[in-house]
Amino acid sequence: MKKKIMGATVTHRRMIIDLKGDTFKALSVMAARQGTNLKKLIENLLDKTAEEYDDSEAYRYLSENYPDGKVKLEEKERKEFMDWLGVAEK
């Protein structure tokens, strides 16, 4: 599903996850306390985690563990990739 937000297209992915019983109960209580449902709480928690994730840490990990990805891209491919990441080059 795609949604337009202030000129940017946001793509959503659906996924089925398995939760341990205790995790399900704890998150359900958290959701009730916040006046929301479990699905929305989990989505918000994951969105916040992703926003706070340090991109440079991800790059370091990928560089160390998957060095095969160090292939020079053509200018068009590079621009498309940077646009997909949502990063502006300096």
Percent of the chain with pLDDT over 90: 34
pTM summary value: 0.52
pLDDT band of residue 15 (cuts 50, 70, 90) is: confident
Side-chain-side CA neighbours of residue 60 (13 Å)? 5
Residue 40 half-sphere exposure toward CB, CA atoms < 13 A: 8
Token pair for residue 67? 């060095």
What's residue 7's pLDDT?
Answer: 59
Q: Give the model confidence (pLDDT) of 18-49 as tens digits.
A: 999 999 999 999 999 999 999 999 999 999 88
- Overall residue count recorded for the chain in this entry: 90
Residues 61-89, mean pLDDT to the nearest whole number: 78
For range 8-13, the mean pLDDT: 74
